[in-house]
């Protein structure tokens, strides 16, 4: 397992713009190599900031949007169209402005969907959708995601996997219902770490001084149950995309030799 790579940018705006350019290139490279690309989106300020930066990126349409499969790492379990849903925010930031194939946009179920208010049933349905999409190159249960994005919470959570809670301890299922989330809303649906670790590349996004302790905790060797971001790694690469404020607590030996 290769060590995580860090890239530190001047501030959160530049981090979002650079991450957007990096994602555009990664998608275009995957599509050139395999004819399609599969990306897992994340919610939160950094995740949505990246999508907004993609929307205005000069190279945006180097992506063949019609051959891009989009999934989510987690979702707030709310009614369809709720402004707090990650899918709603992603559509506003980018998705409604690019020619995606709707059949390739896999939003997690809403709380007023076919599973009603049963987040565990919604999680099971999303796991089945992932398994149906898993082809050659993927694990038995999820597609071979090219890039899986994760915002990192100040408590080191990623997706809706929170320190010490049941979701981060899950080792069999790929998607779980989350109840009692410390970050509102309390009910969510989330990929688990086994699903995260099936991705070729995992990119962790952290900007702002409120993330500095979490970044230091995780990169200093914390256990994944205590610090879920510590369990987020790709089969080919794990990349931390930071700004200087979020990297401020890192000792010199953990910092990249040259700031980006």
Ligand X SMILES: O=C(O)[C@H](O)[C@@H](O)[C@H](O)[C@H](O)COP(=O)(O)O
Asked whether the bond before 207 is cis by omega within 30 degrees of 0, the reply is: no
Interatomic CA distance for residues 211 and 236, integer angstroms: 25
| 14 backbone dihedrals φ, ψ, rounded to 5° | -65, -35
Residue 64 or 246 with smaller CB distance to ligand X? 246
| 155 backbone dihedrals φ, ψ, rounded to 5° | -100, 10
Q: Does 231 bind ligand X (CB under 6 A)?
A: no
Query: Which of 159, 229, 242, 245 lies at the binding interface for ligand X (CB under 6 A)?
Result: 159
The residue range among 36-44, 105-113, 162-170, 240-248 that interacts with ligand X, by the rule CB under 6 A, is 36-44
Q: Does 44 bind ligand X (CB under 6 A)?
A: yes
Residues 214 and 46 sit within 8 Å (Cβ to Cβ): no
The pairing of beta strand 37-41 with beta strand 237-243 = unpaired
Residue 67 or 169 with smaller CB distance to ligand X? 169
Query: Which of 109, 153, 167, 228 lies at the binding interface for ligand X (CB under 6 A)?
Result: 153
Residue 153 or 234 with smaller CB distance to ligand X? 153
Interatomic CA distance for residues 106 and 130, integer angstroms: 9
Strand order in the sheet with 68-72: 5-9, 237-243, 201-206, 147-151, 37-41, 68-72
Q: Does 45 bind ligand X (CB under 6 A)?
A: yes
Residues 246 and 209 sit within 8 Å (Cβ to Cβ): yes
Angle at 82 between CA 169 and CA 117, to 5 degrees: 55
Query: Which of 17, 38, 46, 156 lies at the binding interface for ligand X (CB under 6 A)?
Result: 46
Q: Does 163 bind ligand X (CB under 6 A)?
A: no
The residue range among 92-100, 107-115, 155-163, 172-180 that interacts with ligand X, by the rule CB under 6 A, is 155-163
Structure tokens at 132: 């149906």
164-193 mask for ligand X (x: CB under 6 A)? -------------------x----------
Residue 142 or 191 with smaller CB distance to ligand X? 191
Structure tokens at 32: 């050139």
Q: Which residue shows structure tokens 């907004």?
A: 52
Residues 46 and 16 sit within 8 Å (Cβ to Cβ): yes
Query: Which of 7, 9, 15, 42 lies at the binding interface for ligand X (CB under 6 A)?
Result: 42
- Residues near 4 by beta carbon (within 8 Å), at least 6 away in sequence: 204, 219, 233, 238, 239, 240
Q: How far is the CB of 119 from ligand X (least distance, A)?
A: 13
Q: Does 17 bind ligand X (CB under 6 A)?
A: no
Q: How far is the CB of 190 from ligand X (least distance, A)?
A: 8
Query: Which residues, 67 to 96, sit near ligand X by CB under 6 A?
Result: 74, 76, 86
Which residues of the chain form contacts with ligand X (CB under 6 A)? 42-47, 74, 76, 86, 151, 153, 157-159, 183
């Amino acid at each position: 397992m290769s060590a995580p790579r860090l890239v530190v940018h001047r501030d959160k705006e530049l981090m979002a713009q650079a991450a957007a350019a990096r994602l555009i290139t990664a998608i275009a490279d995957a599509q050139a190599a395999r004819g399609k690309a599969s990306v897992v989106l994340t919610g939160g300020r950094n995740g949505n900031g990246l999508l907004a930066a993609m929307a205005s990126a000069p190279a945006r349409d180097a992506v063949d949007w019609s051959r891009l499969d989009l999934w989510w790492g987690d979702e707030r379990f709310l009614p369809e169209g709720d402004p707090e849903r990650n899918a709603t925010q992603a559509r506003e930031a980018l998705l409604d402005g690019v020619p995606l194939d709707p059949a390739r946009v896999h939003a997690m179920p809403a709380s007023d969907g076919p599973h009603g208010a049963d987040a565990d049933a919604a999680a099971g349905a999303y796991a089945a959708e992932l398994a149906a999409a898993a082809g050659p190159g993927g694990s038995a249960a999820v597609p071979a995601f090219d890039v899986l994005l994760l915002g990192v919470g100040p408590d080191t959570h990623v997706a809706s996997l929170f320190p010490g809670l049941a979701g981060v301890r899950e080792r069999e299922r790929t998607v779980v219902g989350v109840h009692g989330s410390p970050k509102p809303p309390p009910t969510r649906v989330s990929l688990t770490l086994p699903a995260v670790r099936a991705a070729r590349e995992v990119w962790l996004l952290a900007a702002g001084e409120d993330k500095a302790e979490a970044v230091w905790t995780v990169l200093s060797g914390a256990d994944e149950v205590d610090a879920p971001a510590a369990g987020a790694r790709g089969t080919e690469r794990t990349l931390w995309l930071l700004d200087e404020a979020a990297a401020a607590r890192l000792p010199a030996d953990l910092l990249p030799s040259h700031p980006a």
